[in-house]
Amino acid sequence: MKEILASLPRLNDKYSIFSCITEDAEIGDSEFLFSAKDGMTSKDMMTRCGSKILDGYRPTFDATAIERMRNAGGKLIGKCNMDEFGFGTFSTTSAYGIPKNPFDLERSCGGSSGGSACAAAVIDGHISLGASTGGSICCPASFCGVYGLVPTYGRVSRYGLVDYGNSLDKIGLISSDPERIARFLPVISGKDTKDSTSCGQPKLELKGKRIKTIGVPEEPLAGVSKEVLSSFESSLDALRSMGIEVNRIKMPSLKYAMPAYFILATSEASTNLASFVGMRYGQQDGDLSLKFDDYFTYFRTKYFGEEAKRRILLGTYTRMAGFRDRYYSKALKVRLHIIEYYKKIFSEHDAVLTPTMPFVSPRFDEISKMTPIESYSADYLTCPPDLAGMPHLSVPCGYNRDGMPIGMQFVTDHWEEDSLITFAKDWDSAFDVRKPEVSL
């Protein structure tokens, strides 16, 4: 562990993993090292959510997930770079460094938990806390060739997580070793009196339950690149050889998940970000002689990034009188329909399986040419389970001819994390997972 701590500055110079690194180089009584997405509060490091507007903000408390990891013997080594407030697919909207894919430094780690996935890929046996709203754990896990688990909404306390979308945000785990995910999910799970949404779940039990039947929806595969589809189809053969029944199914309602997600997520985000006005957290360098509206406008214009502004505007619009029923209320109905459709599938199958992302990690020059709509569309496979609040897992399933990782995503019914973790461990034994070449 001392070697890892000593290597952090060099790793960060190369990969831009962290926005902050611990200043305490002593191991002390710590039993393991972990990192956390910079959207979670930590009392010994700044929490900035990838945004200039929070520069200088030092919380006085830990997020519950971080506190529980510390209490279990963990040492927080750094806060991981992320898209500003989670707004992005490629971690390119961060104000404190854009994490670089360890398989190709010219490519993205994915987003918004890109730094967390990068840490999991380059630090041997590492565990990192990520957060997912619409794919922010599974996307970077797929791009970086590691395992990413998103628990059921409410399984892990959100206390201390700076909100993007309250009804969508979930804290999860990213690691190259599924055994570590199995070890630490029980640590961060459970009731928390500080978060009312964490009080209703059944107790987490990991009994080794196995997935026996999988449904593969045909509709989402139409938008997947040839190289991703080829690896995915090969993985289906591997699953059959493991004794898992694979069936092709229809889930036409999945196409409505992404528009519903963006309406709900941006609506909630525009409300949550209303408190960032330069008077409570982070930057406070405005002209206090201005009227409140003028100060508010000046400050948010100066310090919010373009993507944050775009999503605030979109979310404010969809909640306006006269538009709320047309957009926001309808999106809530779509969410319920998608949950019901998943439940119908789960009455006959243990899991639903798709590729995680429709393409391998793109180069930064390719990302710069994407329109916002093209960038948003990349999340169409990861949005449905997040919208439904269902647990899901991304596992490596192949590599393209350039050696870039490809992932596939399993979705199970609410509270069924056990079968996902069991599968991840079985798959890790059966599949040849490659690791990037990293020199500490």
Residues with catalytic function? 37, 112, 136
Q: Which two tokens stand for residue 120?
A: 């999991």
Query: CA separation (Å) from 420 to 40, 254, 316, 428?
Result: 25, 21, 37, 12
CB 164 within 8 A of CB 133: yes
Sort strands 351-355 and 213-217 into parallel, antiparallel or unpaired. Answer: parallel
Query: CA separation (Å) from 105 to 109, 305, 361?
Result: 9, 24, 11
CB 140 within 8 A of CB 129: no
Gap between the Cα atoms of 21 and 2, Å rounded? 14
Gap between the Cα atoms of 84 and 32, Å rounded? 28
CB 5 within 8 A of CB 77: yes
What DSSP string runs through 165-219?
A: -TTT-EEEEEES-HHHHHHHHHHHBS--TT-GGGSSPPPP--------EEEEESG
Query: CA separation (Å) from 361 to 11, 52, 205, 262?
Result: 20, 26, 34, 22
Name, in order, each residue with C-beta under 8 angstroms of 302's C-beta and a sequence gap of 6 or more: none
Looking at the DSSP assignment, which residues form a beta bridge with residue 248?
216
CB 413 within 8 A of CB 428: no
Gap between the Cα atoms of 234 and 246, Å rounded? 12
Q: Which two tokens stand for residue 279?
A: 């008077």
Q: Which of 182, 226, 247, 246 is closest to 406 using CA atoms?
A: 226
- Amino acid identity for residue 418 in this structure: D
Gyration radius of the chain over CA positions: 20
- Helix residue spans in 243-288 (DSSP H): 257-272
Cis peptide before 176 (omega within 30 of 0): no
Gap between the Cα atoms of 221 and 77, Å rounded? 39
